[in-house]
Amino acid sequence: MKRLFIKFVALNLLFSLLFAIGCKTRTLETSIEKEKIGEFIIAGSGSNLPITSRLVEQYNQLEGKDAKVPKSIGSSGAIKAASEGVISLGLISRPLKQEELNQGLKQIPYARVGIIIGTNSDVLDNNITSQDLVDIFWGKKNRWQNGQMIIVLSREKGDSTNKVLEDLIPGFKNALHDSLKKKRWQVYYTDLEESEAIVNTPSSIGFTDTGALTALNLRIKPLQVNGIEPTIANLKNGSYPLYKDLFFVYKESASEETTKFLDFVRSDEGQRIISANGGIPLKGN
């Protein structure tokens, strides 16, 4: 009886192993077929996704295509994937560094979005000064005007929004890096996670941008910064200084499909979509 049981277990293990190998083989074959088909994939920074997704939706509809925009893989992930030819177009929310340009990559700016210091809709404050932001990240200012505790929702070191704030707001870099080192605040690693956290966390403050706010219709309250509203008009006239440019990145030898998509982005329809979704069109060469 014992031998029969052992034999039964052994046979089950063998069949399970054969089934697993078969599934793995079919998965590999499917992957190879996809590679042969040559999917047009556009991926990268979460800051680019709201506007780019709208562009891709319209491009697919007009051209009968099936271009895909996966979830965020970050600017660094986009650069690596574009360099290795894994994706057709990378999305980055900062300019390429010289060593990245040396990899044979080309960057094209296509939209400018305003950085928004935003709060949950329950916050009554309407304005924040540069010094307020620094003091909040140091933990020195921890109450809103009505006495509510300020809940800070931070982004990770190296995030493109943080980089802009570090460059333009005196003292923010040291406050941010100290807060990250001491794990003072909750840290989010994608734009979407950060935005959703602001929407769902009472009394919170964090960062988003005009593209995400408009395209995703986020219930986030934009704060004036030093008395200036983060509007497209103020971005255009230069009075609101906090912004970042969005880029496409690809190998120098762009495919025919890539060229066709870039032409669409530069077209009147592409420029209209960018404007309608919280961005300022940039016609990069």
Confidence grade of residue 104 (pLDDT, cut at 50, 70, 90):
confident
Q: What is the pLDDT of residues 226-257, one digit of tens each?
A: 999 999 999 999 999 999 999 999 987 788 99
Residues near 209 by beta carbon (within 8 Å), at least 6 away in sequence: 47, 113, 114, 115, 116, 161, 191, 244, 278
162 within 8 A of 155, measured Cβ to Cβ: yes
The dihedral built from the CA positions of residue 196, 202, 207 and 210, taken in this order, carries a sign that is positive
pLDDT in tens, 139-161: 999 999 999 999 999 999 999 99
40-65 confidence digits (pLDDT tens): 999 999 999 999 999 999 999 999 99
Class of domain 114-236: alpha beta
- Cβ-proximal residues to 78 (8 Å cutoff; 6+ apart), any chain: 43, 44, 45, 87, 90, 91, 92, 249
Is the pLDDT at 87 greater than 60, yes or no? yes
Q: Specify the pLDDT at position 103.
A: 85
- DSSP string for residues in the chain: -HHHHHHHHHHHHHHHHHHHHHHHHHHHHHHHHHHHHT--BEEE-TTTHHHHHHHHHHHHHHHT---B--S--HHHHHHHHHHTTSSSEEEESSPPPHHHHTTTEEEEEEEEEEEEEEEETT----EE-HHHHHHHHHTS--B-TTSPBPEEEEE-TT-HHHHHHHHHSTTHHHHHHHHHHTT-SEEESSHHHHHHHHHHSTTEEEEEEHHHHHHTT--EEEPEETTB---HHHHHTTS---EEEEEEEEESS--HHHHHHHHHHHSHHHHHHHHHTT-EE----
Which CATH superfamily groups domain 42-112+244-281? Periplasmic binding protein-like II (3.40.190.10)
**Quick one: pLDDT at residue 16?**
40
The predicted model gives 95-114 an average pLDDT of 93
**42-112+244-281 against 114-236: fold identical:** yes
The residues facing 281 across adjacent strands are 111
Domain ranges of the chain: 42-112+244-281, 114-236
Dihedral sign for Cα atoms in the order 221, 222, 227, 228: negative
Integer CA distances (angstroms), 275 to 50, 55, 57, 281, 285, in order? 12, 11, 15, 6, 19
As a whole number, the mean pLDDT across the chain is 88
Q: Model confidence at 285, in pLDDT bands (50, 70, 90)?
A: low
Q: What is the pLDDT of residue 284?
A: 63
